[in-house]
Amino acid sequence: TIVYDKVVTNEGNAYNKVTGKFTAPRDGPYVFTWTALTTVKFSLNVYIWHNGKRLSVAQADSKDGTKNSSGSNTIVLKLNQNDQVELKCGLWLDDNLHLLYGAAHSTFSGWAL
């Protein structure tokens, strides 16, 4: 599970900055968006998980070594109170070539509609 190094806004404390998990404070539809940035010669996938089930991915591929790469995705989920959503890093192509940039270069946001 990815734990982000900087939390800008966390109304209601739904995002746990220790575990990296978002816990729905109430039933309803939620929007989640995330961006992953990797550097030259690295590739990775960042998957979104809902209650232990993998749903979607953002992919960044710079394995060719020419430039940094980013990937992003957005998903709308119907959550029940206390459902959990998290992002996990998964590898793509070569298990030894992965690097997720922190320091606000890679982001995760979620909010109720």
pTM of the model: 0.85
Q: How does pLDDT run across 4-54, given as a tens digit for each residue?
A: 888 999 999 999 999 999 999 999 999 999 988 877 677 788 899 999 999
Q: What is the pLDDT of residue 103?
A: 60
- d(CA 64, CA 49) in angstroms, rounded, equals 29
- d(CA 99, CA 113) in angstroms, rounded, equals 32
Q: What is the pLDDT of residue 5?
A: 83
Question: What confidence tier does 92 reach under pLDDT thresholds 50, 70, 90?
Answer: low
Burial class (CB in 10 A: 0-12, 13-18, 19+), 97: middle
Mean pLDDT for the chain overall: 85
Q: What is the pLDDT of residue 112?
A: 95
Per-residue b or e along 55-86, where b marks 16 or more CB atoms closer than 10 Å to that residue's CB: eebbbbbbbeeeeebbbebeeebebeeeebbb
Statement: residue 97 has pLDDT above 70: no
- Higher-pLDDT residue of 101 and 16 is 16
- d(CA 75, CA 69) in angstroms, rounded, equals 21
Contact 37, 67 (CB under 8 A): no
